Amino acid sequence: MAMTLTQVTHALRQLEDELPHLIEDNPVDADFWPAFSGQAKFIEDNAGPDHAELVRSKINCMLGSAGLVPGDNEGEHCVD
């Protein structure tokens, strides 16, 4: 069963809060990306099709905000 919007938002907030720690604990890209993508994939897989675009958008925002991918939102909070 897919997560509710409340559950999806909560999981995304947790991932966003954890992101600085993941970066700090995994300073090498080869370590960071598997750690991050494992958590992100869990959310994506359990969000269901109704929330898939929201999840992709928020994850891309998080990565851009952290300066890990190009984006205009560096330093921005992504999940409300």
Taking only the tens place, the pLDDT of each residue in 19-74 is 999 999 999 999 999 999 999 999 999 999 999 999 999 999 999 999 898 877 77
What one-character-per-residue DSSP string does 11-75 give?
HHHHHHHHHHHHHHH--SHHHHHHHHHHHHHHHHHHH-GGGHHHHHHHHHHHHHHTTSS--S-TT
- In this prediction, residue 70 carries a pLDDT of 85
At position 77, the amino acid (one-letter code) is H
Q: Tell me whether residue 80 is in a domain.
A: no
Radius of gyration of the chain (CA): 12
Domain holding 47, by residue range, is: 5-65
pLDDT of res. 36? 97
pLDDT of residue 5: 95
Is 71 inside any structural domain?
Answer: no
Residue 77 within a domain: no
Domain tally, the chain: 1
**pLDDT for 80:** 77
